[in-house]
Structure 1
Amino acid sequence: MREPWRGGSPRSVLVDARGLYTSGIGRYLREILARLLSDERFSRITLLGEPEQLHGFLAPHGEAERLRVLPFPSGFYRPAAQFAWLRLRASGAIGADVAFFPHYDVPLLGLPRRSLVTVHDLTHFKVPGAFAWWRRAAASPLLRRAVLGAARVITVSEATRRDLVERFPGAAGRVEVVHNGVAPGFRPLAPGEAAACDSRVPRGRYLLCVGNRKPHKNLAAAVEVLALLCRDLPGLQLVVAGGADPGWERVLRRAEALGVREAIHERDEVGDEELRCLYGRCTALLFPSLYEGFGLPLLEAMACGAPVVASNRASIPEVVGDAGLLADPEEYAAMAAAVLRLEREPELRQALVRRGRERAASFTWERAARRTVDLLYTVAAGEARPEPRPLQVVG
């Protein structure tokens, strides 16, 4: 249902939607788009991306007369996207009152002055070894252009805002924190639903890691923790759910050397129902990341009633609060000890599960999407940002 229009001039918006089905950014984009499509303040919405994907997503929303899809190259940090933007701009096809980029991979030339950009994290700069050199080289000018050129910038956590403002002190007044949310479908398994999960989860106890397998996720730590726990928790397994990465093979070789390779179950990208089963039956979500801009699996796990053992770095304490056990992600014994506490102290486990559900409930996509769309309208109705002078860049 579309939101009632309460006055003011209707506006047009252009959305970079090429990441519609990527992992964390895809979830974010789908939630924001759902709200935007229901808002009558925007009379024309143009989406850039893969037409088949976008038309499939838009089909339930109808109202084709206010929606337009323009083909645009998929993937981030690619020269093809920069050239495609320039061609569309020269043709006059992408004019709008405001442009929304849910990632800082923005046009280096011709970025609209009325733009809203979301910066999810600064992983390329905080954990440079986690990415190929060409990605790091591409990230720096793109981030700089986004911060210099956008009218407003969103970060998804206070931690990311601090990282960004530390790098661009002059941007502080234009950066706002809008926390991510958790989808309503992530909730504890009802008694009648548990049996339906039997075929989707391993038998016995298992730790769960959710997210891509890039080096900064520190899944090597999860393998070390698993090996440390095998004596106290015989039969313990590890489920890794998320897209693979070339560095994952090194982690598996370490698992082989530790004698725990057979206890590791790999799942590629999984749907929400399977994720809910995995969260609902796990011993704990193990989240040993070295750096996060937010950490959606933390919220999802807590919403599903899974206890959380997580890293104490970056945005993770901000998201978890007092609803999980935090430890240095490079202190494997400390993370293993936290898992053992959950097994040996049932009252602590129950308290963390209760607090986790309460905390997750305070992060809603409705609130996040509403504020984001309000910011889009504010930027659309305001004066165009002047051509920026160079900001001081620290580091």
Structure 2
Amino acid sequence: MKRILLNMPSQFGGKPSGVARVAFALIGELVRRPDVAVVLRSPWTRAELPAAWRDAVAVVTVRRPRIVVLDVLAQLVTVPACCRRHAIDVVLNIDPYGAGAGGRARIVVVHDLYFRTIPQSTGPREALTTDWIFRLMLARNHAVVAVSDATRRDLEQHYPAVRGRARVIPSASVLDPAALAVGAPAEVAGPYVLAVGNATHNKNFGLLAEAVASIAHAHPDLAVVHVGEDPADAVAGTLRRLGAASRVVRLSRIDDQRLAALYRGALCLCVPSFAEGFCLPVLEAQALGCPVVCSDRSATPEVAGEGALTFDPTDAGALAACLRRLIEEPALRESLVAKGRSNQARYTWDATARGYADLLDAVLAGADPPPRPL
């Protein structure tokens, strides 16, 4: 039996970020395998974990670090001790802010490189320390997983020594349509465009507001529903600046039932991002019959496949044209829904788990080359 330490110290305990949701979905698949035992090291307590599998894993609860770079250094000592205590074979670092030591082998998962691909999204000090962490982790892990081809290309461009070592293992939707009731009461009346995710720089949600404002004269009842945090008021603030009276509804920390109902009732999901490492909301929307309108950059067109209209994320007019088409061409919406369902079916957690299981076997067998300096 392979004993895996799934290492996730940088995530907030009790707050299911996209990375945590991916990790939990993967654990749910891995614990079904008779040859795998999982130990989860994270800020989450057992009581906060999904009930479906929390009793099937060993739980090591750690405090989320205040200074990540110092914690990465500390893990060079603390994680090997944890591995000895739990007889760990492989450390699976679910993001790069993990351990560069411990176990017989180590794997690191890279979700994005925004500090490199969108340098204006981080300050110089943060970019410098993040780069150092990436170099350490890429050098001291035996295998590297990228969640998309776009992320793999970014990795190989900025860290050429990774070429030939990075393997793409995509994720899948973390919302199960079969488990989410159809016919939940509408939370938002009238037509609306849905945006999902915290309004960080890469999300580019201000462009969505510009596009909606530009068609407000013809479609004054079109609203924007944003699920996530927006401390800079990117959406509502942009609409006010442009003098648009379009309605904005902001929600955060809602459960899966409410989120599913919002997907099902939306005109579309809009993803105007400059960059995405994978973008789970695309697959969530497609699984729930919601058309997708997304940026033609980074991982979004790769993940969305043929089930999306794409646009230049620097061109509000191009996005506005996509929204007008969805409003005025019902057949287009129906076509995108059908293509979206077919596309998201390509991504399953069973396939993801098989990819990780094969990689676990490979690193334990020494099939991958040893780590090398970057």
TM-score (structure 2 length as normaliser): 0.90
The secondary structure found in structure 2 opposite 1:173 is coil
| 1:39 aligned to which of 26, 29, 33 | 33
Q: Match of 2:229?
A: 243
Whole-angstrom distance in 2 between the partners of 1:363 and 1:251:
31
Q: Match of 2:203?
A: 217
1:61 deviation in Å?
A: 3.5
Summarize deviations over 1:254-305 as a string: whole Å, max 9, x none: 3222234661111112221111111101111111000001111111111111
1:124 deviation in Å?
A: 1.4
Q: Match of 1:168?
A: 159
Residues 76 and 105, structure 1, Cα contact 8 Å, conserved in 2: no
Tell me the amino acid that sits aligned with residue 207 of structure 2.
A
Tell me the amino acid that sits aligned with residue 330 of structure 1.
T
1:28 deviation in Å?
A: 0.8
Q: Match of 1:365?
A: 349
Which range is displaced more, 123-132 or 287-296? 123-132
TM-score (structure 1 length as normaliser): 0.85
Whole-angstrom distance in 1 between the partners of 2:86 and 2:124:
32
Whole-angstrom distance in 1 between the partners of 2:256 and 2:271:
18
Q: Is 2:30 the counterpart of 1:24?
A: no
Q: Match of 2:242?
A: 258
Q: Is 2:219 the counterpart of 1:233?
A: yes
Tell me the amino acid that sits aligned with residue 214 of structure 2.
L
Q: Higher RCO, 1 or 2 (CA under 8 Å, sep at least 6)?
A: 1
Residues 42 and 62, structure 2, Cα contact 8 Å, conserved in 1: yes
1:307 deviation in Å?
A: 1.2
1:340–1:62 CA distance, 2 compared to 1 (3 A) = closer
Q: Match of 1:275?
A: 259
1:88–1:302 CA distance, 2 compared to 1 (3 A) = closer
1:163 deviation in Å?
A: 0.9
Query: Pairwise mapping of residues 146-185 of structure 1 onto structure 2 (< 5 A)?
Result: 146-183=137-174, 185=176
1:228 deviation in Å?
A: 0.8
Residues 104 and 364, structure 2, Cα contact 8 Å, conserved in 1: no
1:76 deviation in Å?
A: 8.3
Residues 32 and 369, structure 1, Cα contact 8 Å, conserved in 2: yes
The secondary structure found in structure 2 opposite 1:302 is helix
Tell me the amino acid that sits aligned with residue 314 of structure 1.
S
Tell me the amino acid that sits aligned with residue 153 of structure 1.
V
Whole-angstrom distance in 2 between the partners of 1:168 and 1:182:
29
Q: Match of 1:336?
A: 320
The runs of at least 4 consecutive aligned structure 1 residues that moved more than 4 Å come to 187-190, 383-386
1:384–1:63 CA distance, 2 compared to 1 (3 A) = farther
- Please, which runs of 5 or more residues in structure 1 have no aligned partner? 1-9
| 1:101 aligned to which of 61, 74, 93 | 93
Tell me the amino acid that sits aligned with residue 78 of structure 1.
V
Summarize deviations over 1:108-134 as a string: whole Å, max 9, x none: 5x3656111111111111112223444
Residues 177 and 288, structure 2, Cα contact 8 Å, conserved in 1: yes
Identity of counterpart residues, as a percentage?
31
1:342 deviation in Å?
A: 1.0
- Please, which runs of 5 or more residues in structure 2 have no aligned partner? none
Whole-angstrom distance in 2 between the partners of 1:314 and 1:127:
11
Residues 188 and 280, structure 1, Cα contact 8 Å, conserved in 2: no
Q: Match of 1:72?
A: 62
Whole-angstrom distance in 1 between the partners of 2:322 and 2:47:
46
Whole-angstrom distance in 2 between the partners of 1:164 and 1:382:
23
Residues 187 and 304, structure 1, Cα contact 8 Å, conserved in 2: no
1:77–1:300 CA distance, 2 compared to 1 (3 A) = farther
Whole-angstrom distance in 2 between the partners of 1:170 and 1:99:
21
Whole-angstrom distance in 2 between the partners of 1:340 and 1:59:
43
Residues 31 and 369, structure 1, Cα contact 8 Å, conserved in 2: no
* Number of equivalences: 369
1:354–1:58 CA distance, 2 compared to 1 (3 A) = closer
Whole-angstrom distance in 2 between the partners of 1:76 and 1:112:
25
1:347–1:189 CA distance, 2 compared to 1 (3 A) = farther
Whole-angstrom distance in 1 between the partners of 2:54 and 2:291:
40
The secondary structure found in structure 2 opposite 1:69 is strand
